[in-house]
Amino acid sequence: MIGGGEGSLIGPVHRMAARLDGLCELVSGAFSSNPEISRSTGSKEGLPASRVYDSWQEMITAESALSEEFRPHFITVVTPNHLHYGPVKMALEAGFHVICDKPLCLSLSEALELRDIVERSGKLFCLTHNYTGYPMVKAARDMVLSGEIGTLRKVVVEYLQGWLASPLERTGNRQAAWRSDPARAGIAGAMADIGTHAFNLAEYITGEEVVSLSAKLHSTVPGRILDDDGTVSLTFRNGMSGALLASQVATGEENNLSIRIYGEKGGLIWRQMEPNTLTLLRHDAPTQIIRTGASFAGMGLTASMHSRLPAGHPEGFIEAFANLYRNFAMHIIAIIEGHKPELAADYPGIHEGVRGMKFLEAAVSSSRNGSVTIRI
């Protein structure tokens, strides 16, 4: 693992998710740019001092030189945005499969270069848009793609948080500080941090790509450089319209990601804060509530394969993350053993990473130029 040291929000989440199915073992790490934090984290994770490194460059160089018996199968990158491109590039070129937190990098040009490297290397790549790992998200996608709700007409996706309603970045909050800093977060704030998740979810469930957008991004807290709020109008390849809202200054909101999809025969609603429930709307029949549970046939096969517990038991953020790690690990194992894995391709990859950067650059450009429509 690169990044994810003490004080990290997402590093421990990745470690818990990776271990949940017993398929992955943490064997080495460069957990922080601060060597003391890296060593302390490695010690708490039970790693030998010889496999805890002061820099990611040192780690990749040393670990790639190990024998097959000890060499890691993949490297996970969980650093702030500005430290995605370099480690991912070096890890792929050193022959490792890679998992990376989103967004992929800082620019579309970097994203396209990484895509070329992935293709040349033949290595697997996963981008952790973890919300695609929820069973009911997969059920929604299957229902849409099977024509259950008919030709799609409208998508509304919202990701609302309130944690940055005040200037936390000036109080010593590390998470707020790097997300508000263009040098570390990149060209966007809230739109990069959570808007990319909303964008990915809309494309994933509908199976349709956005071809143009018009955006308005705001920095509402005085003195904040990057956006903390934004609204984007979307047009999909099939002509469907969509609306995307992303805000980290929606006072009182916790982690309110939701999506509504409407077709000619029905609609679907899913909310991340109630992840076990998918609502099916009909104009000629009662509203149907579909719930998770491995034995419930209404979920569909893909959702059932990603549901871990009997009906009525909450499955949440860690489990959704773990589904990505499990599918990725099974893909690696299948390559090693020479067979085709059952869940091989069911995780976001480099294509989704490039799509996310196209979305971000288009949204920022549109907003800067007066909400003009930008093709992506």
- In tens, the pLDDT along 225-239 reads 999 999 999 999 999
Type of residue at 237: R
Closest CA to 175 of 187, 193, 158, 188: 193
Q: Residue 344: its pLDDT value, please?
A: 59
pLDDT in tens, 123-174: 999 999 999 999 999 999 999 999 999 999 999 999 999 999 999 999 999 9
Residue-range domain boundaries for the chain: 10-123, 136-311+354-373
pTM of the shown model:
0.94
Q: Residue 345: its pLDDT value, please?
A: 67
Q: Residue 339: its pLDDT value, please?
A: 85
Residue 95 near residue 124, CB atoms below 8 Å = no
Residue 19's CB: how many other CB atoms inside 10 A? 14
Residue 237 near residue 254, CB atoms below 8 Å = no
Residue 133's CB: how many other CB atoms inside 10 A? 26
Has domain 10-123 been given CATH number 3.40.50.970? no
88 has pLDDT over 70: yes
Has domain 136-311+354-373 been given CATH number 3.30.360.10? yes
Q: Residue 315: its pLDDT value, please?
A: 83
